[in-house]
Amino acid sequence: MLVGAAMLACSVAAFATPPAAHVEHAWIRWLPASLPAAGYAVIENNSDAAVRLTGASSPDYGMVTLHYSRLAQGDSTMETVEYLDIPAHGSIKLAPGGYHLMLMHAKHPIKPGDTVKTTLKFANGATLQADFSVLPANASGPED
Amino acid sequence: MPPSRFLLRGCLVAFAALLLAACQSQPNWQLDNVRGHLPDLEFQMTNDLGQPVTAASYRGKIVLLYFGYTHCPDVCPLTLVQLHTVLQKLGKQGADVRILFVTVDPARDTVPVLHQYVTAFDRRIVGLTGSQNAIAQLAKRYRAIYQRETPKTASTDYEVTHSSAVYFFDRDGHARLLATPGVPNDEILHDLKILAEQDN
Domain of residue A57, CATH code: 2.60.40.1890
How close B117 comes to chain A (CA, Å)? 6
- DSSP secondary structure letter of residue A118: E
**CA distance to A3, A106, A141, A144, B83, per residue, from A103 (Å):** 43, 8, 17, 22, 24
- Whether B195 and B62 have beta carbons less than 8 Å apart is answered as yes
How close A31 comes to chain B (CA, Å)? 7
pTM (2 d.p.): 0.85
Confidence of residue A93 (pLDDT cuts 50, 70, 90): very high
Residues B132-143, mean pLDDT to the nearest whole number? 96
pLDDT value of position A14? 44
Residues 6+ apart with CB under 8 A from B109: B69, B70, B103, B117, B127, B129
- Whether A31 and B120 have beta carbons less than 8 Å apart is answered as yes
In a domain, A109, yes or no: yes
pLDDT value of position A101? 97
Cα–Cα distance measured from residue A66 to residue A63, given in angstroms and rounded to the nearest whole number: 10
pLDDT of B157 > 70? The answer is yes
- Straight-line distance from the first to the last Cα atom of chain A, in angstroms, rounded to the nearest whole number: 56
pLDDT value of position A84? 96
Of A31, A71, A136, the CB nearest to B181: A71
Confidence of residue B1 (pLDDT cuts 50, 70, 90): very low
pLDDT of B150 > 90? The answer is no
**Which of B32, B48, B74, B113 to probe by mutation at the A interface, max A CB count within 10 Å?**
B74
pLDDT of A19 > 80? The answer is no
Say if the Cβ atoms of B73 and A29 lie within 8 Å.
Answer: yes
How close A19 comes to chain B (CA, Å)? 27
Cα torsion through B72, B78, B82, B88, rounded to 10: 70
How close A97 comes to chain B (CA, Å)? 5
Q: Which helix (H) or strand (E) holds B139?
A: helix B132-141
Whether residue A73 lies within 8 A of chain B, CB to CB, comes out as no
How many CB pairs below 8 A link A and B?
A: 94
Based on the structure, what is the number of domains in chain A? 1
Q: By CA distance, what is A40's nearest residue in B?
A: B74
In a domain, A12, yes or no: yes
Residues of chain A neighbouring B73 (CB-CB closer than 8 A) = 29, 31, 35-38, 100, 102-103
Residues of chain A neighbouring B72 (CB-CB closer than 8 A) = 78
In a domain, A120, yes or no: yes
In a domain, A140, yes or no: no
CA B128 to chain centre: 14
pLDDT value of position A7? 42
Of B72, B120, B162, the CB nearest to A32: B120
Domain ranges, residue A130? 2-135
- Whether B73 and A29 have beta carbons less than 8 Å apart is answered as yes
Selection from B166, B170, B178 nearest residue B81 by Cα = B166
In chain B, % of residues over pLDDT 70: 84
A20-24, A71-75, A125-129, B2-6 — which is least confidently predicted?
A: B2-6
In a domain, A41, yes or no: yes
Confidence of residue A15 (pLDDT cuts 50, 70, 90): very low
Architecture per CATH, B31-198: 3-Layer(aba) Sandwich (3.40)
Mark out the alpha helices in chain A (DSSP H runs).
2-16
pLDDT value of position B15? 58
pLDDT value of position B3? 53
Strands B166-169 and B175-179: antiparallel
In a domain, A113, yes or no: yes
Confidence of residue B121 (pLDDT cuts 50, 70, 90): very high
pLDDT of A2 > 70? The answer is no
